Amino acid sequence: MRDLRERLAPWPDGGYLVGGAVRDALLGLPSSDYDWVVSDPRRAALSLGAALGGGAFEMDAARRHWRVALPDGVLHDFAPVREGASDIVGDLALRDLTIN
């Protein structure tokens, strides 16, 4: 996972990588779609977009979801801990971890 952390630099402050990209990393597969749980999705998206030359935009104002689209087609989605969860462990328990 350290290699992944280096490839995804800059890692969002206090961010947790979740979803299919984690599975792909564990399987040694490439990914172009990264999902993050962060405390401030807007700040994380704007920061990553500025650092990597991507466009950051709000996808869902009510749920505070933001996306960064990088010039190479890679997507980074940022969301806060899910409603009903108090921390990342609770957030993960609410996720659908089935494979599509």
pLDDT by residue (tens digit) across 32-58? 999 999 999 999 999 999 999 999 999
Q: Are 71 and 88 in contact (CB under 8 A)?
A: no
My answer on whether omega of the bond before 41 falls inside 30° of 0, hence cis, is no
Is the pLDDT reported for residue 100 higher than 60? no
Q: Which residue has the tokens 């630099």?
A: 9
Angle in degrees, CA 96, 99, 100, rounded to 5: 100
Q: What 3-state DSSP class applies to 32?
A: coil
Task: Name the pLDDT band for 72 (thresholds 50, 70, 90).
Answer: very high
Instruction: Report which residue type is found at 51.
Output: A
Q: Is 3 helix (H, G, I), strand (E, B) or coil?
A: helix
